[in-house]
Chains A and B, each alone.
Chain A
């Protein structure tokens, strides 16, 4: 059986001063099976976000894509604008980092949730409204009927991120792309939101790509972990190898060493120096 998503030697180049352009992703390849959860960790600028945006063809305008991305065997870069719109609407859901920035402040929550049904008939819209209400229940929002009439600024970050998750799942996507969905939230809310994403996607059998800086979190949520560094996937791990497993790449090792640990007393947490593991992993 072919996997749901195949990313095959993905290269992304943006125009720079260099006439050749600047390559930001250097041949990223991975697959996500149906119902599977894959985590991507790595430092800022390692290409995590670029990778999943390219999956939904939301890479920056003017960027060139080489290699292939196939969703259900269909090439995303080869899709027409209409096919692309349909794919984004029906097959892929996205959750972003800062819900207050990612949701338009001038529309009510109810309008936001059912927005993708605006072009459908009134019957469809009623169904959508009912489904929105039900999903708000599922993301554990109290008094969802009242929330539908609220504006985004009237909700806390955690609440609004639940709304975002509900919106992403409303059309029953096959793949959920979560781009640091817990980073902007406080610690307790982080855990709740992460648990919510996992529960809901398991129930519906939706595949997940989860991006984060938090390697422990990803270990708890995902079946596989990809470590990205400087536009490459440098390591693929299973959660059990996070603790005492064999680590192949020195960056992963350094990353794991940076985790705080309550059983050890240290004066300072070690940090991974920027660019420490350049070409050929020479620094180690």
Chain B
């Protein structure tokens, strides 16, 4: 609630210019990161053992003429940098190449799988935030017994590998209780959500434990601050103090950990989609890597990295909104 609207046109304009410059810098940084990451993945894949031409030819692998023809078709006979150049030029023109394995455009291959993965990450992310935040807040505010109990559960959730969580959840909720399907993506939004519930919970469990821990620590930390004493000394009621002074300020570290956790969520889809037999981007990536489907691996990795970069940019943006001190370069 700004009581008096104050506008300082000149300094406001200067501020906008600063924002634009910072934004452009950020975009350049993201582009550079993508370039470096794509090159690293390209080189790593080329250097890894196994030959895509042999895989494509199957039992005709000995046919020298076929090998030569395929090598020429996919530019495998050219130097590494030239091959990378071909791929990146195609990418910039919107051509992601063709999958050797699926004999299909990489773009349509990926596009078909994005909805499943996007829904899975969104569903999981929502669970992470709600579950993590609520658990952390309860843990910070509750007595010692509840706090210790939650702390033990969080340690278990953090320490258990994702695939083990997946197996346990499938065994309990699909096989014994029969509440959720074992695999597949489902039809319609409700069907999809039903199918995606167990995968999303699997994906969310350890991440929400991380968020819960940070939330608990941040809330406990903020409660001890001098400004909270001031708020109490001014006769504000407990819910207001909690909302405006404790939680509001605890959002800073929580936002930081959310950015880190988001990366884990995106990477976690690879395991979760395989465990639950979902045909998303993550399972596509695994199939493509095992069969050296260069074009698919490259494009899928770029997509995953881009998603990660965008999430992090959003988190940084959010940070500026939450903490006024970080807005103008953090100067006092």
| Chain A contacts to B: CB under 8 angstroms | 56, 58, 85-90, 92, 94, 96, 98, 101-108, 110-111, 114-116, 118-119, 125, 129, 132-133, 145-146, 148-149, 151, 153-154, 167
C-alpha gap A87/B332 in the complex (Å): 35
Residues of chain A contacted by B332 (CB below 8 angstroms):
153-154
Is B235 a contact partner of A85 (Cβ separation < 8 A)?
yes
Q: Does B144 belong to the interface (CB within 8 Å)? A: no
Is A149 a contact partner of B6 (Cβ separation < 8 A)?
yes
**For the complex, would chain A's binding face be called helix, strand, loop or mixed by DSSP majority?**
helix
Is A96 a contact partner of B235 (Cβ separation < 8 A)?
no
**Closest A residue, CB atoms, query B327:** A151
C-alpha gap A106/B231 in the complex (Å): 13
| Chain B contacts to A: CB under 8 angstroms | 1-6, 225-227, 229-237, 240, 244-245, 248-249, 322-325, 332
User: Separation in Å of the B41 CB from the closest CB of chain A?
Assistant: 41
Is B226 a contact partner of A96 (Cβ separation < 8 A)?
yes
C-alpha gap A108/B244 in the complex (Å): 12
Residues of chain B contacted by A149 (CB below 8 angstroms):
2-6
Most A CB atoms within 10 A — which of B229, B232, B234? B234
Is A106 a contact partner of B2 (Cβ separation < 8 A)?
no
Is B226 a contact partner of A105 (Cβ separation < 8 A)?
no
Q: Given A104-B245, A106-B322, A145-B4, A96 and B230 touching (CB < 8 A)?
A: yes
C-alpha gap A105/B248 in the complex (Å): 11
Residues of chain B contacted by A103 (CB below 8 angstroms):
227, 230
**Closest A residue, CB atoms, query B1:** A111
Residues of chain B contacted by A115 (CB below 8 angstroms):
231, 234, 236, 244
Q: Given A102-B226, A132-B3, A107 and B244 touching (CB < 8 A)?
A: yes
Is A58 a contact partner of B240 (Cβ separation < 8 A)?
no
Is B325 a contact partner of A98 (Cβ separation < 8 A)?
no
Is B227 a contact partner of A101 (Cβ separation < 8 A)?
yes
Is A102 a contact partner of B229 (Cβ separation < 8 A)?
yes
Q: Given A89-B234, A116-B236, A106 and B324 touching (CB < 8 A)?
A: yes
Residue in A58, A107, A132, A146 whose beta carbon sits within 8 Å of that of B232 in the complex: A58
Residue in A87, A105, A145 whose beta carbon sits within 8 Å of that of B325 in the complex: A105
Residues of chain A contacted by B232 (CB below 8 angstroms):
58, 88
Residues of chain B contacted by A98 (CB below 8 angstroms):
226
Is A101 a contact partner of B2 (Cβ separation < 8 A)?
no
User: Separation in Å of the B236 CB from the closest CB of chain A?
Assistant: 6
Residues of chain A contacted by B2 (CB below 8 angstroms):
108, 110, 148-149
C-alpha gap A129/B274 in the complex (Å): 59
**Closest B residue, CB atoms, query A91:** B235
Residue in A108, A145, A167 whose beta carbon sits within 8 Å of that of B234 in the complex: A167
C-alpha gap A58/B6 in the complex (Å): 37
Is A129 a contact partner of B3 (Cβ separation < 8 A)?
yes
Is B230 a contact partner of A102 (Cβ separation < 8 A)?
yes
Residues of chain B contacted by A105 (CB below 8 angstroms):
227, 249, 323-325
Q: Given A108-B2, A110-B2, A151 and B230 touching (CB < 8 A)?
A: no
Residue in B6, B230, B235, B248 whose beta carbon sits within 8 Å of that of A145 in the complex: B6
User: Separation in Å of the B21 CB from the closest CB of chain A?
Assistant: 21
Most B CB atoms within 10 A — which of A92, A98, A103, A106? A106
Residues of chain A contacted by B5 (CB below 8 angstroms):
149
3 closest Cβ pairs, A-B complex: A89-B235, A88-B235, A101-B226
Residues of chain A contacted by B6 (CB below 8 angstroms):
145-146, 148-149
**Closest B residue, CB atoms, query A110:** B3
C-alpha gap A90/B235 in the complex (Å): 8
User: Separation in Å of the B34 CB from the closest CB of chain A?
Assistant: 34
**Closest B residue, CB atoms, query A89:** B235
Q: Jot down 20 A-B pairs with beta carbons below 8 A, ordered by A.
A: A85-B236, A86-B235, A88-B232, A89-B235, A90-B235, A92-B233, A101-B227, A102-B229, A104-B248, A106-B248, A108-B2, A114-B1, A116-B235, A119-B240, A132-B3, A146-B6, A148-B2, A148-B6, A153-B324, A153-B325
Q: Given A104-B245, A111-B1, A88 and B234 touching (CB < 8 A)?
A: yes
With contacts A88-B233, A98-B226, A110-B1 known, what are 15 further pairs, Cβ within 8 A?
A: A88-B235, A92-B233, A94-B230, A94-B234, A101-B226, A103-B230, A104-B249, A105-B249, A115-B244, A116-B234, A132-B3, A149-B2, A153-B325, A153-B332, A167-B234
Is B235 a contact partner of A104 (Cβ separation < 8 A)?
no
C-alpha gap A133/B245 in the complex (Å): 23
C-alpha gap A101/B245 in the complex (Å): 12
Is A114 a contact partner of B324 (Cβ separation < 8 A)?
no
C-alpha gap A148/B2 in the complex (Å): 8
Is B4 a contact partner of A110 (Cβ separation < 8 A)?
yes
C-alpha gap A90/B233 in the complex (Å): 10
**Closest A residue, CB atoms, query B229:** A58
Residues of chain B contacted by A119 (CB below 8 angstroms):
237, 240
Q: Given A98-B226, A116-B236, A148-B4, A104 and B325 touching (CB < 8 A)?
A: no
Residues of chain A contacted by B248 (CB below 8 angstroms):
104, 106
Residue in A114, A151, A154 whose beta carbon sits within 8 Å of that of B3 in the complex: A114
Q: Given A129-B3, A145-B4, A149-B4, A87 and B235 touching (CB < 8 A)?
A: yes
User: Separation in Å of the B228 CB from the closest CB of chain A?
Assistant: 8
Is A151 a contact partner of B324 (Cβ separation < 8 A)?
yes
C-alpha gap A133/B232 in the complex (Å): 23
C-alpha gap A284/B240 in the complex (Å): 52
**Closest B residue, CB atoms, query A113:** B3
